Amino acid sequence: MLTQELPAIDLLSLKDLLKMGDIRVEIVDGELIKMAAAGMVHQLLGSNVYDVLKPFVKSHNLGIVIYDGLTYLMFSTAGGLKDSFVPDLSFIRYENLLTDFDPTKPYPGIPDLAVEVVSPNDNAEVLQRKIRTYLEKGTEQVWVIYPATREIYQYRHDNNPAIQIYTGSQKLDVEALFPGLELTTDMIFDLPEWVMMQQ
């Protein structure tokens, strides 16, 4: 969820980022970007993904699922923060979870899965730069959810295929991350009737 680009500055340090307190920002290619407040649909869609992934991951002891708010430093702390992302939802395999870090601070590494729910004011170019960085740094998959078109774009680190687009009630190919899980687009876009009436 990205909106307003702030003036370009020298690369921030982690200390600089922490001084910002509760201000919600991301850093993309060295640019500080202020995050907009999320709307109801945005949060409900993220919750739908979380509600499916969390119990499955826990019951199969696969890793941790995090819903909104965790800052990933993307292994970019040396010499300043070139990238710092806050996905709407993320997953880290236990075997890839870093052990030498302060869990009360931003996570220095990357997620294995990043889920981004697109908001009306998001900058498409910035979003593509984020996706590219996720994959280049080693994130296995990035899922981008487009509420307006009810589409999900799945990007893969292994480029097999590079992009898969899901619509309708299609089943997502999640076997590499979550073997045995069934997740369909209509499960993700299952919104309360009162929300649908407002759209």
N- to C-terminal Cα separation, the chain: 19
Pairwise CA distance, residues 77 & 22, whole Å: 20
**Dist. CA 147–CA 158, nearest whole Å:** 26
The secondary structure of residue 167, as a DSSP letter, is -
Q: CA–CA separation, 164 vs 155, rounded Å?
A: 7
pLDDT of residue 78: 67
The per-residue pLDDT for range 9-25, each reduced to its tens digit, is: 577 777 777 676 667 78
The answer to whether position 43 is within a domain reads yes
- Residue 16 domain-assigned (yes or no): no
- Count: domains in the chain: 1
What does the pLDDT look like over 126-185, one tens digit per residue?
Answer: 999 999 999 999 999 999 999 999 999 999 998 877 899 999 999 999 999 999 999 999
Residue 15 located in a structural domain? no
61, part of any domain: yes
Q: Which residue spans within 51-137 are E strands per DSSP?
A: 63-67, 89-93, 113-117
Which residues have C-beta within 8 Å of that of residue 119, sequence separation ≥ 6? Answer: 1, 2, 3, 36, 38, 39, 42
> Residue 44: which residues within 8 A CB-CB, separation 6 or more?
191, 192, 195
Residue 184 domain-assigned? yes
Whether the bond into 55 is cis, omega within 30 of 0: no
pLDDT category of residue 33 using cuts at 50, 70 and 90: confident
Residue 179 lies in a domain: yes
Q: How confident is the model at residue 198 (pLDDT cuts 50, 70, 90)?
A: low
Q: Answer yes or no: are the C-beta atoms of 172 and 183 closer than 8 Å.
A: yes
**Contact at 8 Å (CB) between 141 and 177?**
yes
Residue 51: inside a domain, yes or no? yes
If you average pLDDT over residues 37-45, what whole number do you get?
88
From residue 20, give the alpha-carbon distance in Å to each of 71, 81, 152, 177, 195: 13, 14, 32, 34, 34
CATH of the domain at 138: 3.90.1570.10
In this prediction the pTM is: 0.88
The percentage of residues in the chain with a pLDDT greater than 90, rounded to a whole number, is: 60
Residue 124 tokens read as 């498409």
8 part of a folded domain: no
Q: Express each pLDDT in 87-98 by its tens digit.
A: 999 999 999 999
Q: Which residue range forms the structural domain that includes residue 92?
A: 38-72+86-198
